[in-house]
Structure 1
Amino acid sequence: MNVLVVEDDIELTQFIQKGLVSEGVAVSVAFDGTIGRSLVNEHRFDVVMLDVNLPGMNGFDLCKFIKQNWPAVPVIMLTALGSLDNKVLGFEAGADDYLAKPFAFKELLFRLKALARRHPSRAPRPKSLQLLDLKIDTDSHRVWRSGQRIELTAREYALLEYLMLNQGKVINRVDLLENVWDVHFNTNTNVVDVYVNYLRRKIDQVEPKLLHTVFGVGYLLGAEP
């Protein structure tokens, strides 16, 4: 596994690097966002770890840059900003996981391996997906409904793509959390419901409605509930 760590805390970076190398992980390091962007441009990484408060280019902007250019590369945010609002900002930027400081190294290692193992880039995907007049280009992440382009955030797109890959099936919230957010949230969180509503407002402005709630179970993307 080849990992990029973008973190301006030198002591913490050395701690992470030493631990990962001892586990057989190849590690590259950048101490500011601008250098991190250059390294991402020049090399292929299996996972990128980002601090939020970085000199040169902050972690949210760097995450957006990575996801716009290499959407298959998993990104985990490492930050002291651990509130739910900040986590939502991180996921909105396209992050696949979010680990608040201070953290246990074993948990970090587990999350890195989980991202590298479960990320969609490890499995082949069709170049396009379609359900009636809803169409997705999985290479460009562009979406259309009734011939009209729909603008989605990175997280909304990831949610829609997963539902499209499983169209006609009822998907529960835990499944969505694990496969779209790649993290194990407290199951009391309503982040899935919030993003389903965001997505529904964008793709279901015309008939027939495609994104359905199956009460007490989860969500279904299909022509009929």
Structure 2
Amino acid sequence: MARLLIVEDDETIGSHLESRLRLHDHEVVWRRSGRGAIREATLASFDLVLLDLGLPDLDGIEVCGRIRAVQPGCVLVIVTARDTEMDVVVGLEAGADDYVSKPFGFAELLARIRAHLRRGAPPPARPARFAVGDLVVDTAARRCFAADREVTLRAKEFDLLARLAGQAGVAVSREELMADVWDENWFGSTKTLDVHVAALRRKLAEAADETTIIPHIVTLRGHGYRLDVPSG
């Protein structure tokens, strides 16, 4: 049994999620406001939080960051009718692990919840340290460096970069990345992969300067991605 927190002000959606998730043997707490959710998150631990961004009292992005601060180990999934990539990126950078767009089917949502709850610590990569140009990915310490500067990455960003760096210069399919970084039984949209790639690209670009050789992530249309080994 997992302990879930639903943050949703819509009575119909909230009550539906609460009753359906309880039928699947989850312990569910439902809160209708951002302040109520933050208060609940400070009082008890949760395995997963479903957070609607369109709340009546606080902006959902702010709520996301504040819940992440007090629940660093939980899975945080934002539920949003905001479908622009920038809104999703901001939500992920505020601390979310994934997002689901409204309207959504319950079967897809349940499969995503199960996939997140199944996740465990990723197996140690071999070797434990990858160097691609001036980029170093230390999987044992879970740290990333561009030359002598540390690049701060969120958990899934690090896992994704480590997966690509482990086969630098090799094309990796979307299916492989979703199975290795998220879950082999992932169900539904894989746009979360694209959003994490976009965030990684931005952070790697910010870490680069004229003296460092930093690889970049190439999109392979219809297939996946490749971490390009920089020349020199």
With the shorter chain as reference, the TM-score category is 0.7 to 0.9
| Of 61-70 and 99-108, the range deviating more from structure 2 | 61-70
Q: Which of 164, 170, 190 in structure 2 is aligned with 1:185?
A: 190
Q: Which of 219, 226, 231 in structure 2 is aligned with 1:219?
A: 226
Partner SS for 1:76: strand
Partner SS for 1:219: strand
Unaligned runs of 5+ in 2: none
The answer to whether the 8 Å contact 1:66/1:73 transfers is: no
| Of 23-32 and 80-89, the range deviating more from structure 2 | 80-89
Q: Which of 202, 209, 218 in structure 1 is aligned with 2:206?
A: 202
Matches within 5 A, 1:1-225: 1-117=2-118, 119=119, 122-123=120-121, 130-132=129-131, 134=136, 143-151=144-152, 154=154, 158-164=156-162, 167-169=165-167, 170=170, 171-176=172-177, 179=181, 184-185=189-190, 191=195, 194-205=198-209, 206-211=211-216, 213=218, 218-220=225-227
Alpha-carbon displacement from aligned partner over 1:165-217 (angstroms, at most 9, x marks no partner): 56331433444456369763369x96465334313313443434344649676
For the residues of structure 1 that align with 2:70 and 2:156, how far apart are their CA atoms? 15
Distance 1:35 1:214, change over 3 A: closer
Shift of 1:109: 1.4
For the residues of structure 2 that align with 1:167 and 1:22, how far apart are their CA atoms? 42
The answer to whether the 8 Å contact 1:7/1:32 transfers is: yes
Distance 1:25 1:224, change over 3 A: farther
Unaligned runs of 5+ in 1: none
Partner SS for 2:30: strand
Question: Which letter maps to 2:106?
Answer: F
TM-score w.r.t. length of structure 1: 0.72
In angstroms, what is the RMSD of aligned CA positions? 3.8
Partner SS for 1:103: coil
Distance 1:142 1:104, change over 3 A: same
Question: Which letter maps to 2:3?
Answer: N
Question: Which letter maps to 1:200?
Answer: L
The answer to whether the 8 Å contact 2:7/2:33 transfers is: yes
Distance 1:193 1:77, change over 3 A: closer
The answer to whether the 8 Å contact 1:45/1:73 transfers is: yes
Distance 1:11 1:213, change over 3 A: closer
TM-score w.r.t. length of structure 2: 0.71
Distance 1:215 1:13, change over 3 A: closer
Shift of 1:151: 4.9
The answer to whether the 8 Å contact 1:7/1:54 transfers is: yes
